[in-house]
Amino acid sequence: MFRILILGLCLIIPLQASSDDLQVRNAMKKADSLGREYRRLLDKSNFRAHWADDDSRLIYQIDESANGTRYYEVDLKSGKATAAFDQELLAKALGQNSHQNVRAGNLPLISLKPVTGSPSIRFFALGKRWQWDTTSNSLQADNTPAKSIAPSAPNANPRSTSSNIPTVVLIQNSTAQDLVVQWVNESGVAKNYGTIPPSETREFQTYAGHVWLFSNPAGSRLASVRAAADPVSVTITGKVRSARPADPGISPDGKWSARIQNNNLYLQNRESNATIPLTKDGSRSHPYAGELSWSPDSKSLVAWRVTVVPERQINIVQSTPPDQLQPKLLTFNYAKPGDEITRRRPVLFDLSEATPKLVQLDDGLYHNPWKIDRLEWLNDSSEFQFLFNARGHQTMRVIGIAPKTGVTRIVLEETSDTFIDYSQKTWMHRLAGSADFLWASERDGYNHLYLIDGRAGKIRKQITSGDWNIHQVDDIQEANGSVEMLVETLGMDPTQPYHRQYARIVLNSEDDVKITRLTESHGNHTIEFSPGKTWEIATWSRPDQAPVTELRRGGDGSLVAELVRADTSAMEQRGWKAPESFVAKGRDGKTDIYGLIFRPSNFDPNKKYPVLENIYAGPHDFFTPQNFSSWSSLNAMAELGFIVVKLDGMGTNWRSKAFHDVAWKNLKDSGFPDRIPWIKAAAESRPWMDLSRVGIYGGSAGGQSALSALLHFGDFYQVAVADCGCHDNRMDKIWWNEAWMGWPVDESYAENSNANYAANLKGDLMLFVGELDHNVDPASTAQVVAALQEAGKVFDFVPVMNAGHGAAETPYGNFRRATFLVHHLNSL
């Protein structure tokens, strides 16, 4: 009887598991189908502007659910938009001329351009250039040839840049052999696109910014082309002259040539060809290497002396390589926190006399660098300056050195008791013809711009100020002593500190600074200008607001008209739920914490749903979505029966410096003292959020945080999935971890290690690792597994073969994660 009972249980359990698996698979398939449908149902989307060259005309196109792509022309005075032309008649005319079926809602127009002073438009379609008179509705071939450009020398590692601007590249093969054509994606992977026989021309429809490579049949690369917004014609001859930059080794007066050879530095008289060795002590471990920098008067030369430190190597095993049966051992360089690093220091030579002289330098002000770069000479050759970032990232200096004496001084210094956010906020721009420079700093608690007197070594002017941040300088122009900058800001919108807003800053003098906001709506913005910058197109959105596109004046940012507002009505009729924005106070009871709440499409307010947090708390950025999206992985997870939340707690970036500093030597915190009260506050007014069932999942730094939730906050979180986590910051890559945990490695690293708290584990845990992870050492997860086993803990461990970083995002990993969360949180 006992044996039969046991056999029965053995049969029943797998059947039950299969039934659960099938339920999850079906829910995931349904979610995937729903996402595709929602994307299709978004109306009035994919706005694209087409300007006349002189800014006098604007035609835009949008995708309408009922009508396909439609074109409208804007009255630039009133902002009123009307149909740009009769699309039915144009489709008919194109069809008659090409003997193809052309639909009015899917016109194959590429590089459309309104013609100045005429009711016509020009465009490329069906392999030809055309002109359409929108008044007479007449179509003519446009014999204006595509702009002819020379191909570039093939870059060693070309990559396409992302773009949604369709264009055309015409390639003529003028070699004697077949021309092999390849398109290069954004990751640098080349994909074959056939061949072009000799003397023939092919048309390739592509996107602006995409790179095309051309090789001979033997595989030798001959040329490359980066597509432009307008169609271009390129002739490949096999003889490409690369644009050769000025040789930095040649002195400005042309008399001398400096070069590095066999780890030493040599100086050659270009008239006599006589060569003088400037150094003799260079070696493989201490070479003279890198760029050379001449003073403008050609009397001084700066080179670099490098102390080479062999980088740590790690080994991983590929258990199941596709090309052989036996495993492969893979070894690669991977420096970790605390490792010795290769460093360099400047070496100065005085060449003003007949005999070159080494100028002795004291490196006390720039000792132990993480990095030294941005070396520049002042125009009068009185000093060279460079940027020094000290190891540990608590001191950053602009250093100045006098070439005759070697006297070294601090031009500008930034210090922090925690960290300087060098990787995200370092920005410096030397003003033309001046020792002055522009500089970004958080010294007042927010990231702002300063004008620095590079001779006196003092701040001349704080250009921007306030409880907001300069996020990025997109463009800078100098003319007639005036400096104009286009900047992205965060926090100018008082309703949301993470919304990107744009401003123009004009610096005429330190007493004459004008800041003009170019955007003002309550959303996350992108902008583009007309060719002459008379007008701007501002598009903004929020997770709960589909894109809105506005026409604004380029000079002062004032609104002319709202052009298009995307419509989610059809999506909502099919159950789409906009993410809900929610704000609650953080750990201090004062600071606002912002996040989103995602509900399933079949949401029933009378039911109770488990709460699932997606976490990534890396201090290098913020991570709650700010733009509209018809569908995302967070929506897909909610479809499995969860209320999904996403928020940014203290320690993440781009709020105040104090907000950011919470991460200092404290990555295990992950903002949980803000996250937990935020979730509790949301549940107070949302009874359908069941806080007796709370889970969390994340990858990489989010994997570290997800496990930390069960180790330190297991009374609130009951289930966690941690994917490829950097569970011990001593095991992870050097730059990211030293940026927030500091140098030298101290006890704080151990205090933040998940492995050291294995005995604290509460709840249900699933750990993922990709056996080929080159981003986070897979041993980081293995060591946590060992610690949990040593502590006698029960958990699920899922190594994914042939997967790299983000193993839980593979189809298999995604399914295993979903079944684990659904089962333990009882969501379906």
How many residues would you count in the chain?
A: 828
Summarised one tens digit per residue, pLDDT across range 577-613 is 999 999 999 999 999 999 999 999 999 999 999 999 9
- CATH H-level, domain 151-236: superfamily: von Hippel-Lindau disease tumour suppressor,  beta domain (2.60.40.780)
3-state helix, strand, coil in the chain (%, to 5): 20, 40, 45
Compute the distance between CA of residue 63 and CA of residue 57 in angstroms, rounded to an integer.
21
The residues of the chain that CATH labels 3.40.50.1820 are: 7-37+575-825
| pLDDT above 90 as % of the chain | 89
pLDDT in tens, 314-355: 999 999 999 999 999 999 999 999 999 999 999 999 999 989
The answer to whether the peptide bond before residue 744 is cis (omega within 30 degrees of 0) is yes
11 confidence band (pLDDT: 50, 70, 90) = very low
Q: How far is residue 750's CA from residue 747's CA, in Å, rounded to a whole number?
A: 5
Q: Residue 494 has what pLDDT?
A: 86
CA 317 to chain centre: 30
Q: CATH 2.60.40.780 in the chain, residues?
A: 151-236
Task: Report pLDDT for 246.
Answer: 64
pLDDT reading at 6 higher than 50: no
Pairing of β 275-277 and β 313-318:
unpaired
Distance between CA 1 and CA 659 in Å, rounded? 65
Q: Measuring CA to CA, how many Å separate 563 from each of 111, 119, 518, 776?
A: 21, 21, 17, 46
DSSP 753: -
Q: How confident is the model at residue 241 (pLDDT cuts 50, 70, 90)?
A: low
Structure confidence at residue 255 (pLDDT): 95
Does residue 242 surpass a pLDDT of 70? no
Answer yes or no: is pLDDT of 239 > 80. no
CATH number assigned to the domain with residue range 7-37+575-825, chosen from the 4 options 3.90.79.10, 3.90.730.10, 3.40.50.2000, 3.40.50.1820:
3.40.50.1820
pLDDT attached to residue 2: 34
The reported pTM is 0.92
DSSP state of 652: B
The answer to whether the beta carbons of residues 375 and 385 sit under 8 Å apart is yes
Q: Structure tokens of 525?
A: 């913005």
**Predicted pLDDT at 510:** 86
What are the tens digits of pLDDT across the range 123-138?
999 988 999 999 999 9
Q: Which helix (H) or strand (E) holds 704?
A: helix 701-712
Tens digits of per-residue pLDDT, 39-84?
999 999 999 999 999 999 999 999 999 999 999 999 999 999 999 9
